[in-house]
Structure 1
């Protein structure tokens, strides 16, 4: 049995009903228009499904147990609504205000984020700088009582919908490539412009945009933490970001398994269900085993994260294995669906194209292997069993 509390199980039931009633019926329209309606965030906020962790004074439940977000991601996978990036808003970006913001910033920004009035995004990636944050070119010059931000970002999730964008930019590019600030750019600021809503392989309902900053005046009150410590702030958040990815990957792997299992039990080949064929049985037996085994490790990482003990190495292992197992499951799922697996009307097809990004985002599989290998060959190496 997985270790969810009674309150979390009740939360799961309520959230499942919310998705079934308010989000899932509109997903096809969201995919066609390339963006989720903003009022979905507001409806979720009204029912307490956004940003569970903030204290009650900011409108949250005051419960920082990561398992609530795990429930949200698992239910989004089950309902086929994961293209609504509520976890990006609620957990990946929102926690920057808690960890690095001032009390004044939390009071100013968090209530509208909890309620869904304001939508969040984070902007790190640039055309020539992905995982290598030291290679970014965006910069912010200190003008005394404010900063002036210039640069561009790309592949920014929630980029069209976002009202508040946490932008990473260098503050001393000539002398220190690791001196980075985190700047809260607000909708309507002069010089802040959005480019096109990018046409992606999958995740069609999720708005992904280019962002441009041309002499944007950033008040000192919109700087998170110290203006030269942003690189370290971003590194601090990467373990949770990769855990978020791993949880989502496993939820989708399990949903793909369930869809495929149901399909092969119904599909007839030479007069008998495809599930009667030994190849089908062996393929799904292997995948069921892999999914369960990796899920146990991911759940273990969630427990460690709740205790403040999740390391970058553990998170990298979880993200690597979860994304690879998810991909194997979806590839086999399409294969076992036959021609139907290539048709967009079948969920397995949309899941397949949507999942291709998961071995890239939050650090590619190759970057995960690099992180893990550094630990393997370090003097302080020890395995989880030591």
Structure 2
């Protein structure tokens, strides 16, 4: 079938909207007509130089849409079902068997495991890389696997739900699934983009006693306060760690870094109270090392850990997030700005500059 897709052919980060040929779903696969898709910073990084993603490629991994066709053996969804697309997993490794698919041993989100002869996207016969997070949803249609699509309730506004498959899931899941925050506990969030703001909203759902938001954009901190942050700190003034320690009188129970900036990550460790946990949900692609203050950790029983995709089991967690959105406790629509699909370059620019928190590309 013929589809329209945003094709990244070089490291400029600027795509062209092209007509591609898309093969139908194979065994275990699902064809989704995309309603809308979010733009994530991982897309921005993957489009540029230094990315592990081969070109030409179609990116996009926060798609939501309607199932049009299913391949042999698919039973979880059927044509006509509204779905959110998310990350894939093998279903057979120790993590998947333990209902922890976000830590799958066998999935590479950035490079297709298919031989080039079996690529399902082609431009005038030329293979185009797809399978990005088992989606490549910067397109009018996308192929996912049965494990990478989640059916959602019919009454939810599908055009708002794509970010639940990655950014919102990652931030909210860190708090709800991995920290398992309890009423009365405290949290400092470094970075007030989609991940950070989702964590702030989740902390409020958890009954947090105090939530501190840190960012370098004043307008993002204003939104963080509206969504539940008790205190906001504008980066670039006084040392952040001193401000957090002054506010809390000794540190917080949890810190979440969403910036992947080593200097900021170090501050997230320093502001932990004894027995506190610091988590990183993204990392520098160049593999930059991070100095670790061992005495600070050992002396206070502090923990540093990584969290992937919010520790989510999507079939369980995404419907839960939809329910939170529908009852008003997770107003993710406050984060988004809608763009026509043809304006994807502008959406990328606005996201990179920090002007837009969560661009949503509308497919018409």
- Give TM-score, length-normalised by structure 2: 0.26
Larger relative CO (CA 8 A, sep 6+): 1 or 2?
2
Structure possessing the higher radius of gyration over alpha carbons: 1
Higher strand proportion? 2
> Normalization by structure 1: what TM-score?
0.25
